[in-house]
Amino acid sequence: MKRNLTMLLIGLILLTVGVIFYLKPKPNSKITLAMTYIPNVQFAPWYVAEEKGFFREEGLEVAFDYRMDIDALQLVATGKMDYAIAGGDQVLIARAQEIPVVYLMSLYADFPPSIIAKADSGIKTAQDLKGKQVGLPLYGTNLMAVKAIIKRAGLEEKDVNLVDIGYTQIPSLVEGKVDAVVGFANNEPVKLKAMGIAINKINSWDYFSLVGHGLISGEEKIASNPQQVKRLVRASLKGLEYALANPEETFEICLKYLPELGEEQKEQERQVLRLSMVLWENEYTREHGLGHSAPEDWVDSQRLMMELGLISKETPVEKFLNLSFLP
């Protein structure tokens, strides 16, 4: 009898220890997310995921890295960084160069770049760009957009002088260093209008349909740690959904990541966020769900990029588009 009680007591102790061990919070997975731009309200879904605890709920500790997309995808592909936010065009360029990155979830359902000029410049359509200087960073999504607009407008690249101004679009246009600039339709136009500068826009979506920015990782990461990928996609999607449902709270959350803004700049950024949210949804995402991206848009994107000479070969869509981690 005594022996039975002893064995029962030992069993209870072991069971208790097992339960405590099982319930003990597991250490968070530390991951890096390359934002490929400076801190900006356009990253609101991930700021929300951090501040509302969506990352913590998934056992993730996320460090935001604000390096530019010129090298982020290479770092992600080699495992030196875990994830990145980058344009679909950059994914296609990487894949054409045998850099094994994969698109997991869309942020921008529509492709946001536009060509922006002062209203008194005489530039109203793409044809008006002939003989003009257009300023932009000469890589990435902005370069892709202006090349595509020029081609679809029936012009040749030699007809337009593309000038490398980095990300100084606003001062370059205001100071007259260039005739027009390339930026995001939800960003630079808002700030220029706030400065009292009337503008004309040539929107990329009037000329073609391309894939916008989204969440990217590498083939090796997806193969070796699919559960982590699933958890990050789930937390990111929660952040996107919450941001769209709670725009004012979302803006207040963003301000934590933009501490240097003055009152006037805050109002500008509020408008940037509002216009960004419009581009996060379209008919396709309303039918298939937030974060989804139409495979046919990727096919069209590759064809256009082949026409532009930006890639030398096409890659099967299933190799770089993996939406299986979305609900």
Parse the chain into domains and list their residue ranges: 29-110+211-320, 113-206
**C-alpha to C-alpha distance for 248 and 109, rounded to whole angstroms:** 21
pLDDT of residue 208: 82
Mean model confidence pLDDT for the chain: 90
Q: Is the pLDDT of residue 164 over 50?
A: yes
Q: What is the 3-state secondary structure (H, E, C) of the chain?
A: CHHHHHHHHHHHHHHHHHHHHHHCCCCCEEEEEEEECCCCHHHHHHHHHHHCCHHHHCCEEEEEEEEEHHHHHHHHHCCCCCEEEECHHHHHHHHHCCCCEEEEEECCCCCCEEEEEEHHHCCCCHHHHCCCEEEECCCHHHHHHHHHHHHHCCCCHHHCEEEECCCCHHHHHHCCCCCEEEEECCCHHHHHHHCCCCEEEEEHHHCCCCCCCEEEEEHHHHHHCHHHHHHHHHHHHHHHHHHHHCHHHHHHHHHCCCCCCCHHHHHHHHHHHHHHHHHCCCHHHHHHCCCCCCHHHHHHHHHHHHHHCCCCCCCCHHHHECCCCCC
Q: What is the mean pLDDT of residues 8-22?
A: 47
First-to-final CA distance of the chain: 55
Number of residues written out for the chain: 327
pLDDT of residue 13: 54
Superfamily of domain 113-206: Periplasmic binding protein-like II (3.40.190.10)
pLDDT of residue 141: 83
Q: Summarize pLDDT for 78-114 with one digit per residue, the tens.
A: 999 999 999 999 999 999 999 999 999 999 998 889 9
Q: How confident is the model at residue 1 (pLDDT cuts 50, 70, 90)?
A: low
Higher pLDDT among residues 23 and 271, named by residue: 271
Q: What is the mean pLDDT of residues 220-245?
A: 98
pLDDT of residue 21: 39
pLDDT of residue 20: 39
Q: How confident is the model at residue 172 (pLDDT cuts 50, 70, 90)?
A: very high
Q: Is the pLDDT of residue 309 over 50?
A: yes
What is the pTM (predicted TM-score) of this model? 0.82
pLDDT of residue 180: 98
Domain 29-110+211-320, second-level architecture: 3-Layer(aba) Sandwich (3.40)
pLDDT of residue 37: 86
Q: Summarize pLDDT for 182-205 with one digit per residue, the tens.
A: 999 888 998 999 899 999 999 988
Q: Is the pLDDT of residue 6 over 90?
A: no
Higher pLDDT among residues 265 and 247, named by residue: 247
Kindly state the tokens that stand for 144: 């892709």
pLDDT of residue 139: 83
Do 113-206 and 29-110+211-320 fall under one CATH topology?
A: yes
Q: Is the pLDDT of residue 116 over 90?
A: yes
pLDDT of residue 228: 97
Give the percent of the chain with pLDDT over 70.
91
pLDDT of residue 3: 52
Say if residues 200 and 119 touch (Cβ distance below 8 Å).
yes
Q: Is the pLDDT of residue 24 over 60?
A: no
Q: Summarize pLDDT for 129-161 with one digit per residue, the tens.
A: 999 999 999 888 899 899 999 999 999 999 999
